[in-house]
Amino acid sequence: MPGWRSTALAVALVLVPAAACAKPFVPPGDAVVLERLPEKGDPALAELKRMRAALMMSPRDLDSAAPVARRALDAARTLGDPRYLGQAQAALGPWWKGDDVPPVALLLRATLKQSQHDFAGSLVDLDRLLAVNPAMAQARLTRSTVSTVVGRYADARRDCAELAGKVAPIIVIGCEATPASLSGQAGPAYGALVQVLALPAAAGVREWALTLAAEIAARRGDVAAAERHFRDARALDPRDAYLKGAFADFLLDRDRPGEVLPLLRDDTRNDTLLLRLALAEQRLADQRERFAAHRADLAARFEAARRRGDSLHRREEARFRLAIEKNPQAALTLARDNWAVQREPADLRILIEAARASGNDDALKTASDWIAAHHLEDALIVAQRERSR
């Protein structure tokens, strides 16, 4: 009898169509687990939950609020879970608006705005912060990062130069590496990074610098070095969602989709990582069913984001529309809107790909002008441009 029952269950699991879930239902028993909270098995998140509960008692106490915001930001970044951005913003509630805000709160606010892709708002806060506290290294590093994301490389490098002598050399060089490599000095920037990586450094900083080195090496077409840096970085923090995404892109670019599957198998909750997983499955004949399911999931998630008015993942959605849905027009609209906000190499790539697929010379010219103006060195983008000529 128990055997029969488990067979029935297995059959039902396979056969029950998704439509069975379309209606609200009363669960069959009190013991049915409906939701697994993220803090289950994660002591850091459990601690964050306790800290948030304590903060409720004294929400205006910045000494309690700042660590909550910091940890929530960390969780959002590591897990790719935007609910933690909401928690961070709630912690910063008393300091979210207005100009007269303590430096600690202002820095966290700017960092959070960066995470929400409000780059303009983030820069306003950082400008104000640095005007009053020019020696605040973290603010300078953050401003340099935001300036790089929006393509203001000279501004970014100026901030990095200001850091010299105030923080560890690896941070100065890491700060400088991305904007320098994107404005015609990829060689020297990479060389300096490799040199400083030979020295000992804290694991977190080292992982960050290794990721930068991997990305620059990949752009320069040095595949072996890039892969080595990615693997070294992954050894230091295998859970880092940003790193996983960057490595997956690297593997997809080298047409190695099979290696993406084990990398991202457990990251289906993260939209940006699920997209990469689906892109890999799309190229593998034996993954058709999983690909179909993940494609439907992604479509549902982008629809859910559209309903709430979110535009956080326009770059990913453009990739989804182009590569998976084969809709170049929709992809181009998204890629252009995205390009108006952020200008990293990945943003440029999807702009060029969507422009080529939809035969839009106007968008291609935007991209070419950008590449020429900044002397961008990116092997794949250059090859892509050659093809489109």
Partner 1 sequence: MTRIVALLACVLLSVPAFAHKASDAYLTIERDGRSLRGQWDIALRDLDNALGLDANADGDITWGEVRSRQTDIGAYAISRLQVSSGGERCSLSPTAYLIDTHTDGAYAVMTFTGACPQPGPTLALDYRLFEGLDPQHRGLLNFVENGQSRSVVFSADTPHRIVGGDSSGPVRQFVTYLNEGVWHIWTGFDHILFLLSLLLPAVLVRHHDRWQPGASFRASFIDVAKVVTAFTLAHSITLSLAALSIVVLPSRLVESGIALSVVLASLNNVFPVVANGRWIAAFGFGLLHGFGFAGALHDLGLPAGSLALSLAGFNLGVEAGQLAIVMLFLPLAFALRSTWAYRRMVFAGGSVAIATLASVWLVERAFNVGVFSALAAR
CA separation (Å) from 318 to 79, 104, 149, 334, 370? Answer: 22, 36, 18, 5, 20
Considering only 129-137, 181-189, 298-306, 380-388, which stretch makes contact with partner 1 by CB under 8 A? 298-306
Q: Does 27 bind partner 1 (CB under 8 A)?
A: yes
Q: How far is the CB of 337 from partner 1 (least distance, A)?
A: 19
Going by C-beta distance under 8 Å and a sequence separation of 6 or more, which residues neighbour residue 304?
none
- Whichever of 3 and 165 has its CB closer to partner 1, that residue is 3
Closest CA to 89 of 107, 72, 114, 101: 72
The Cα 87–Cα 28 span in angstroms is 33
- The single residue among 2, 3, 26, 289 that binds partner 1, judged by CB under 8 A, is 26
Segment 263-282, which members bind partner 1 (CB under 8 A)?
Answer: 268-271, 274
Residue written as token pair 């300078």: 140
In this chain, which stretch among 8-16, 100-108, 133-141, 183-191 interacts with partner 1, using CB under 8 A?
8-16
Binding segment toward partner 1, per CB under 8 A, in 21-29, 62-70, 211-219, 222-230: 21-29
81 contacts partner 1 (rule: CB under 8 A)? yes
Q: Is 304 in the site for partner 1 (CB under 8 A)?
A: yes
Among 1, 25, 98, 289, binds partner 1 (CB under 8 A): 25
Stretch that binds partner 1, among 19-27, 168-176, 321-329, 365-373 (CB under 8 A): 19-27
Pick the binder of partner 1 from 297, 325, 337, 344 (CB under 8 A): 297
- Tell me which residue of 253, 280, 255, 277 sits closest to 381, measured CA to CA: 253
In whole angstroms, how close is the CB of 38 to partner 1 at the nearest point? 8
Closest to 60 (Cα-Cα) out of 87, 91, 103, 106 = 91
Q: Does 242 bind partner 1 (CB under 8 A)?
A: no
Residue with tokens 């290294």: 137
Determine the angle formed by the axes of helices 169-181 and 186-197, rounding to 10 degrees: 160
CA dihedral 51, 53, 58, 64 (to 10 degrees): 10
Taking CA atoms, 337 is separated from 113, 313, 332, 363, in Å, by: 18, 11, 8, 11
Q: Does 20 bind partner 1 (CB under 8 A)?
A: yes
Query: In this chain, which of 1, 2, 3, 33 binds partner 1, going by CB under 8 A?
Result: 33
# binding residues, partner 1 (CB under 8 A): 57
For residue 269, what are the CA distances in angstroms to 30, 231, 265, 375?
26, 23, 10, 37
The total of other beta-carbon atoms located within 10 Å of residue 103's CB is: 15
108 binds partner 1 (CB under 8 A): no
d(CA 109, CA 113): 6
114 binds partner 1 (CB under 8 A): no
Is the separation of the CB atoms in 379 and 186 below 8 Å?
A: no
77 forms part of the interface with partner 1 (CB under 8 A): no
Instruction: Please report whether residue 221 would count as binding partner 1 according to CB under 8 A.
Output: no
Q: Is 54 in the site for partner 1 (CB under 8 A)?
A: no
- Are 291 and 281 in contact, with CB atoms under 8 Å apart? yes
Contact between 301 and partner 1 (CB under 8 A)? yes
Query: Measured from the CB atom, is 77 or 385 closer to partner 1?
Result: 77
Does 79 sit near partner 1 (CB under 8 A)? yes
Determine the interface stretch with partner 1 among 78-86, 120-128, 175-183, 224-232 (rule: CB under 8 A). 78-86
Which residue of 23, 198, 289, 387 would you call a contact of partner 1, by CB under 8 A?
23
278 contacts 267 by C-beta, under 8 angstroms: no
Smallest CA-to-CA distance from 123 within 342, 367, 369 is with 342
Residue 90 in the binding site for partner 1 (CB under 8 A) = yes
Contacts of residue 263, Cβ cutoff 8 Å, sequence gap at least 6: 244, 247, 248, 251
Task: Kindly state the smallest distance separating residue 353's Cβ from partner 1, in Å.
Answer: 25
Residues that bind partner 1 in the complex, under the rule CB under 8 A: 8-9, 12-13, 16, 18, 20-21, 23-41, 59, 79-83, 85-87, 89-90, 93, 96, 116, 268-271, 274, 293-294, 297, 300-301, 304-305, 307-310
